[in-house]
Amino acid sequence: MQLHTIWFVILAIFWIGFFVLEGFDFGVGMLHAIVGRNEEERKRALSTIGPWWDGNEVWLVVAGAGTFAAFPGWYATMFSALYLALLLVLVALMARGVSLEFREKSENPRWRSTWRWALIVGCLLIPLLLGVGLGDLLNGLPIDSSHEYTGGFFDLLTPYGLWTGVTLVALCLLHGATFLKLRTTDHVRERARAAARPLGWAAIALVVGWIIWTRSVAGGPDVPQPVEILAVIAVAFAARLAMTDHDGLSFSASAVAIAALVGSIFIDLYPNVMISSTSAAYNLTVNNVASGHYALTVMTVVAVIFFPLVLLYQGWSFHVFRARLKAPTEPTDAQPGPEPAVPRAG
């Protein structure tokens, strides 16, 4: 396997890791006002993501930096085409982070309501906009022979891209509901279970519709690919298990569903990295936008050394903060690991 292909796979893993890990953060952010009926319950819901939400953003940063280093031509075209959309993503990321920090600065109801809605909208816009961008990579955008984007902002809002974005939002909501079931108790957990039922049905319908549409957009065989079948099975299992006490299995299934859906986009995209709707001759491929052999070699050595360390640290952090967050009146189990603090930046 050539180095540019290896780096295409690595970047796909970064995007999968981002959506799997940030997916439950976004889901919790969108659901915290539903599962929490008072300030204590909302605070406890948000505390479930306290140890991870800011660190999980690093996966997006690394995906962007890796694209710049491994495929500078892809980075230049994609970021110029999606410039305004990515700017909105940055604003949404800042709104999400600031909301988690500032909501505790005052007990004024209007203050807390403002930051609550900023958090909800921010957590909604990020997967929606990034999903639209990923869908557009496969659907195609107006790109000329110089690999310059020739369209406007509204050309980015393709029907397939929008469906991809909405599907990822639904999966993040289901992922967040399963995570809340895994990490909370009492009324918060029961409300998360109740929310998972309609969210599960919506996610199943959207994923099935997305797969049917993807077969038309991507070309090739009309039969769904194995990874797409895996996405349907996983989201169905996640929705069903969310109604039971198998919290770990339902959370794992929702994670597999997100990973399979995002992964299938990159599988269908390869060897292209961006499709030109103007002419197939103008497609960006792993061959015509990759960096030189030396740069890819150095990057590969760095990835081989540090990527396993990141995974080990991520796994260790999940192990340490594995205890459920209980209501103040509930007895605390003698389970190892500190309880996570209220979400804060940094």
State pLDDT tens for residues 182-204. Answer: 999 999 999 999 999 999 999 99
The whole-chain average pLDDT of the chain stands at: 91
pLDDT, tens digit (0-9, with 9 covering 90-100), for 8-39: 999 999 999 999 999 999 999 999 999 998 98
**Average pLDDT of span 155-181:** 96
Contact 181, 242 (CB under 8 A): yes
Phi-psi sector, 48: left (phi>0), alpha (psi -120 to 50), beta:
alpha
pLDDT, tens digit (0-9, with 9 covering 90-100), for 40-69: 999 999 999 988 888 899 999 999 999 999
- For residue 327, the tally of other CB atoms under 10 A from its CB is 14
The answer on pLDDT for 140 being more than 90 is: yes
Task: Write down the pLDDT at residue 326.
Answer: 85
Task: Write down the pLDDT at residue 92.
Answer: 95
**Average pLDDT of span 85-103:** 92
Contact 27, 175 (CB under 8 A): yes
The answer on pLDDT for 259 being more than 90 is: yes
State whether residue 143 is helix, strand or coil: strand
Work out the percent of the chain whose per-residue pLDDT is above 90: 77
Q: What is the DSSP letter of 291?
A: -
CA-wise closest residue to 185 among 323, 51, 50: 323
Task: Write down the pLDDT at residue 331.
Answer: 57
Task: Write down the pLDDT at residue 335.
Answer: 47
The answer on pLDDT for 249 being more than 80 is: yes
pLDDT, tens digit (0-9, with 9 covering 90-100), for 207-229: 999 999 999 998 777 788 999 99
Contact 313, 175 (CB under 8 A): no
**Average pLDDT of span 132-149:** 94
In which band, very low, low, confident or very high, does the pLDDT at 105 lie, cut at 50, 70 and 90?
confident
Task: Output the pTM of the full model.
Answer: 0.91
Q: What is the maximal distance between C-alpha atoms in the chain?
A: 66
CA-derived radius of gyration, the chain: 20
Q: How many CA atoms lie less than 13 Å away from 56 in the CB half-sphere? A: 23
Task: Write down the pLDDT at residue 336.
Answer: 45
Q: What is the DSSP string of 164-214?
A: HHHHHHHHHHHHHHHHHHHHB-HHHHHHHHHHHHHHHHHHHHHHHHHHHHH
Work out the percent of the chain whose per-residue pLDDT is above 70: 95
Residue indicated by tokens 């209007």: 110
State whether residue 274 is helix, strand or coil: strand
pLDDT, tens digit (0-9, with 9 covering 90-100), for 199-211: 999 999 999 999 9
**Average pLDDT of span 313-317:** 89
| Nearby residues of 108 by Cβ (< 8 Å), 6 or more positions away | none
Helix (H) or strand (E) holding 231: helix 226-241
Angle, CA of 234, 15 and 266, to the nearest 5°: 75
Q: Which two tokens stand for residue 50?
A: 């306290």
The answer on pLDDT for 97 being more than 70 is: yes
